[in-house]
Amino acid sequence: MDSSILTSTNIIVVLTCFVSFVLMNNRKGKSALLFHPMTISRHKQWHRFITSGFIHDGTMHLAINMFVLWSFGSAIEQIYYPHFFGEFSTATYLILYFGGIIVSSIPSYIRHKKNPSYAALGASGGVSAVVFAVIIFAPWENLYLYGIIAIPKIFAGVGYLIYSWLKDKKANDHIGHMAHFTGAVWGFFFTGFLNPDLLVRFAELTLRGPSWL
């Protein structure tokens, strides 16, 4: 099979879409995977830190997360990580993504482990980690919104965080919006600390500005 098809990103996207669609209207099944801090704390169901990343709150939530993951994750796997991390690039990518899901949930766990009404789901933490891992490599490279609107990735990333902050303040759904922030920090610094030269390179590229200036 073509190795460009059987990538970690594609496997994660297909598996996440499958589980999300199967459980989209299955309340009992979704509840068993949901990130629910009180249940985790009381019953030591630590698997929920990971399983919550495979379920989503509707097709739009799923579509946005998986499209962003596919776009940025493919760049990480095929361009950036192989060049900087060689034979360890696949393992590093998996730690980046699933580590993002876990780490991004820790603040919510600490904050809500005695709150029976709080629950969250979605791969936002892992996706955000992947997005900001790409940004460290190419901050001024364009991301094409709707396929036609060019936006530098660093601006798109900041906008993504602002959107997440505002949605978290409303707190009217079960999406882990605050996970975007901690996931972004994890993705950026996990990648940067593995190769400190990347942090220096990022600072230089950011200060230099886009090539069209």
The span from the CA of 117 to the CA of 170, in Å, is 15
Predicted local distance difference test score (pLDDT) of residue 159: 81
For the residues 194-203, what does the mean pLDDT come to? 91
For the residues 108-133, what does the mean pLDDT come to? 92
Predicted local distance difference test score (pLDDT) of residue 145: 65
* Helix H or strand E segment including 151: strand 149-152
Q: Domain residues of the chain, as ranges?
A: 8-208
Nearest partner of 118 among 164, 69, 201, 179, judged by Cα: 179
Query: For residue 144, what pLDDT band results from cuts at 50, 70 and 90?
Result: confident
Tokens read off for 55 = 């379920």
Tokens read off for 163 = 């959107």
* Residue tagged 């399983």 (tokens): 51
CATH topology of domain 8-208: Rhomboid-like fold (1.20.1540)
